[in-house]
Amino acid sequence: MVAPLPADDWPVLGADDALGGRLRRRLEAVGVDRARSLTATPLDRRCVEAAHLVLSDEAGAPGFVHAGFAMTALPHKRIEAAEWVRDGADIRLRIESGKTRDGAAAGVPFGYVARLILLYLQTEAIKTRSREVELGRSMHSWLKAMGLNSGGKGYEAVREQSRRLSLCRLTFYRLGERGEAVLNGGFVREAILPGRGEGRGDAGQQLPLWRETVVLDEVFYESLIRHPLPVRESAIRALSGRSMAIDLYIWLAYRLHHLARPTRVPWPALYRQFGAGFAQPRQFRAHAREALALALAAYPEARVGVEDDALTLMPSPAPVPERRRLASHRTSRLS
């Protein structure tokens, strides 16, 4: 057996260590400042920062998403089609663009901004056990904490995705022992955005981004309450800006702690589930390896073997310990 190198002689630290399951150990051995100096690329640096952010997050505040989004997801980029259909395991997700008042297609929500808005809505609904979710300053502060700047281009992106989420229709199809279950509805019962003219001052000030509160669609809310998936807010913050990394993190958060034994997932299966928008599996794989490195950096408890032909998923602790989930529920009931 070859003796390990002294810490000062270690080569580049970052993405390869995340993919090889070594990042946490190396980061703890050399410290974050030394680790930063050992990075060679922006991806290496971001993996180190993601792992450090999650490992130093003592509070471990949980966020929540519908478990169905662990197997299917929104588009990563803008699509021209008025309908989006994705399959994952025994689930199919169909999202249909809504229409504006004049009949124009609003478009299907996409990208990391739509994912962050949805994560906020779902997290607040789970914590308060209420379909009515506070927006306004609360949502602005949360998105800012997640690394999203709501000024300039950020403002326009948030406003566009809020409009698309407000108007679209979604259907989850799930195959089970008793047949096919269908969840058919929307995300919200009324627009997230304020109506025309609301909040505009005499000087023509910019409209506020959101209403004070919004009510989630009843069907979506009831399904969310039955199938919540806890994730770490610090991990989502570490992955902000990378929609595929967020999707892979949510997928791993769902799969790993339910496993009883190691499970191989071939790259072609990952391509079918996450590769929409990539013409060739080879293109997807190069992009997915980077996203996977970030996802694993933000989920240091994960045990995943990354091989040339497949991933091997191994039983791992959940990213949010059960005690923290329960503490979050108790706090929300008392607040």
Contact 305, 314 (CB under 8 A): yes
With b for 16 or more beta-carbon neighbours within 10 A and e for fewer, the 150-179 pattern comes to beeeeeebbbbbbbbbbbbebebbbeeeee
Question: Mean pLDDT for each 10-residue chunk of the chain (335 residues)?
Answer: 48 93 94 95 97 93 91 89 85 90 92 94 95 87 83 83 92 76 84 64 53 90 93 95 96 94 94 84 90 97 94 96 56 39
Q: What pLDDT does 206 receive? A: 52
Q: Which residues contact 307 (CB under 8 A, 6 or more apart)?
A: none
Beta strands in 250-301 (DSSP E): 263-266
Q: What pLDDT does 324 receive? A: 53
Side-chain-facing half-sphere of 43: CA atoms under 13 Å:
18
Q: Which helix (H) or strand (E) holds 85?
A: strand 83-88
Q: What pLDDT does 2 receive? A: 39
Q: In whole angstroms, how far apart are CA 309 and each of 87, 159, 175, 267?
A: 21, 41, 28, 6
Q: What are the residue boundaries of the structural domains of the chain, listed by start? A: 1-56, 63-230
Helix axes of 153-167 and 111-128: crossing angle, nearest 10 degrees: 60
- DSSP assignment letter at 262: -
Placement of tokens 């004049």 in the chain: 102
Q: What pLDDT does 199 receive? A: 44
Q: In whole angstroms, how far apart are CA 57 and each of 24, 46, 303, 320?
A: 14, 16, 20, 12
